[in-house]
Amino acid sequence: MAQCEVCFRHCRIPEGMTGFCGVRVCQDGAVHSANYGVLTALALDPIEKKPLRRFYPGSMILSAGSFGCNLRCPFCQNHEISWPPDLRALARRCQTAAPEDLVREALRCRDQGNVGLAFTYNEPLIGYEFVRDTAKLSHEAGLVNVLVTNGTAALPVLEELGPWIDAMNIDLKGFTDQYYRQVLGGDLDMVKAFIARAVQLCHVELTTLIVPGENDTEEEIRAMTEWIAALRDEDGQRIGTEIPLHISRFFPRFQMEDRPPTDVALVYRLAEVARERLTYVYTGNC
């Protein structure tokens, strides 16, 4: 039995078993990553798809994903790899790569406009060891590293990755404890703490998916953007108004097909509300 300290769940994992995320496994009384080097997806994407709008715009980035997640968003667009019925069976079908292999492929793609590596598609922080090892080699090769994450991780994980990550897109999925706990199975306070520290370490952009009837009020967006605007750098200077926010339209999928897509006019209206406090607000999926 060992206790995992990656996120708020603090799973106590019996020998040979995995925690809630399906990735943290107990071996010889210690917690390790079961998805180290396991790739479910590898693609050269426009960096705007991460989404990042103010970090190397117009470039491409080699995007790698594995399996597992520590949230349970009912609208997950990558549920086949984030929390399929049998994660171990999925892992057995996947290719594996050493950090050196992934960096070599990223360098090979430079002539196609590639600037680095993005760790994305599933939740990369639950397998942070592979991210850390690969990102360090990537930096040494002159590439940049991007993390696309739900931000549900303890600060020691962030500090371990911090020196090697150049940019993040972090999901700030809503701004109420109820939404995070009852709908997503998450912890808003952990995400807020993660974001507050991440903006001191690298370029950060945030994304909020507007789900009808869940997080779609002007009041919630005002509370969220007021908090974002107050974020500070390591010297105590307010930098929050310059943090880009992506407000995205929801489409019914997976376990949440019981409601219509978000009204486009509402997405645009909430973006205008966000612009009351933030300089860079973008709409997505409209």
Question: Over 90: is that where the pLDDT of 285 sits?
Answer: yes
d(CA 252, CA 257): 4
List the chain domain ranges: 35-284
d(CA 108, CA 111): 7
Quick one: pLDDT at residue 227?
98
Residue 232 in tokens? 């500070």
Largest CA distance in the chain: 55
Query: In residues, how long is the chain?
Result: 286
The class (CATH top level) of 35-284 is alpha beta
Work out the pLDDT band at 94, boundaries 50, 70, 90: confident
> By C-alpha distance, which of 236, 239, 240 is closest to 227?
240
Structure confidence by residue, pLDDT tens digits, 113-171? 999 999 999 999 999 999 999 999 999 999 999 999 999 999 999 999 999 999 999 99
Upper half-sphere CA count for residue 122 (Cβ side, 13 Å): 29
> Is 134 in contact with 117 (CB distance < 8 Å)?
yes
d(CA 285, CA 264): 9
Work out the pLDDT band at 22, boundaries 50, 70, 90: very high
What's the sign of the alpha-carbon dihedral 94, 98, 100, 103? positive
Residue 196 in tokens? 């507050």
Mean pLDDT of the chain: 96
* pTM of the entire predicted model: 0.97
- CA of 20: how far to CAs of 1, 23, 229, in Å? 14, 8, 33
Question: Over 90: is that where the pLDDT of 86 sits?
Answer: no
Structure confidence by residue, pLDDT tens digits, 227-250? 999 999 999 999 999 999 999 999
Question: Over 90: is that where the pLDDT of 198 sits?
Answer: yes
